[in-house]
């Protein structure tokens, strides 16, 4: 290696611009994010995940989540995980769209669960509790490591699992029961 060559390399490197102005003003988004008291909008790290689609079923008005691993999504809405400042540390919650979908599923599930046997119902509730414990564990870890991409991905997946269980149990029960109605 030519030493002179390398010295030039390093001195040129030092002359590379270290300050580069972004093409657009990034402040407004930041201002919005920090403006809400105790809330911070986690932008595109997860938005770019492109792993979750939120669709609204036309006929039944049911909102459901599907996960596509390798198929390009037909319609894409970024999954919107918001960072809530709780009293002791932070918590990641699903954003408002997801909260709506979740409440919707939760109330449908409640109705369907009443039609199951007590054992079946207890089993479902136990598993949902398992999932919620997992969500708490991950949030606990995220408190220390808010930037940890693995934790964020697992959290989103676990939220999805919860919604899937609510959807599947509600849907399964409903569709199985409905065959008896006709």
Rounded alpha-carbon distances, angstroms, from residue 10 to 7, 16, 18, 19, 40:
5, 10, 14, 18, 40
Give the interface size with other proteins as a residue count (CB under 8 A): 86
Q: Which is nearer to other proteins, 99 or 136 (CB)?
A: 136
Check if the beta carbon of residue 166 is closer than 8 Å to that of residue 102: yes
Report how far residue 92's alpha carbon sits from residue 175's, in angstroms, rounded to the nearest whole number: 33
Q: How far apart are the first and last CA of the chain?
A: 83
Binding mask 122-141 for other proteins (x = CB under 8 A): -xx-xx--xx--x--xx--x
Stretch that binds other proteins, among 56-64, 97-105, 161-169 (CB under 8 A): 161-169
Site for other proteins in 95-114 (CB under 8 A): none
Q: Which is nearer to other proteins, 51 or 100 (CB)?
A: 51
Site for other proteins in 39-98 (CB under 8 A): 40-45, 48-51, 69-70, 72, 83, 85, 90
Check if the beta carbon of residue 155 is closer than 8 Å to that of residue 142: yes
Report how far residue 122's alpha carbon sits from residue 140's, in angstroms, rounded to the nearest whole number: 27
Q: Which is nearer to other proteins, 29 or 100 (CB)?
A: 29
Q: Which two tokens stand for residue 66?
A: 């599907």
Which residue of 94, 158, 159, 163 would you call a contact of other proteins, by CB under 8 A? 158
């Amino acid at each position: 290696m030519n030493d002179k060559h390398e010295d030039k390399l390093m001195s040129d490197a030092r002359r590379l611009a270290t300050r580069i102005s972004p093409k657009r003003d990034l402040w407004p988004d930041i201002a919005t994010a920090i403006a809400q008291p105790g809330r911070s909008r986690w932008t595109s790290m997860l938005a770019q995940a492109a792993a979750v689609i939120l669709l609204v079923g036309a006929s039944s008005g049911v909102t459901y989540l599907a996960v596509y691993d390798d198929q390009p999504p037909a319609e894409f809405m970024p999954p919107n995980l918001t960072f809530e400042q709780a009293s002791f540390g932070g918590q990641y919650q699903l954003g408002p769209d997801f909260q709506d979908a979740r409440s919707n599923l939760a109330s449908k599930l409640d109705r369907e669960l009443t039609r199951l046997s007590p054992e079946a119902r207890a089993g479902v509730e136990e598993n949902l509790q398992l999932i919620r414990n997992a969500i708490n564990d991950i949030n606990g870890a995220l408190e220390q490591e808010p930037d940890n991409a693995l934790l964020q991905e697992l959290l989103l997946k676990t939220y999805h699992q919860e919604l899937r269980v609510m959807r599947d149990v509600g849907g399964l029960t409903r569709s199985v029961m409905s065959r008896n109605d006709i």
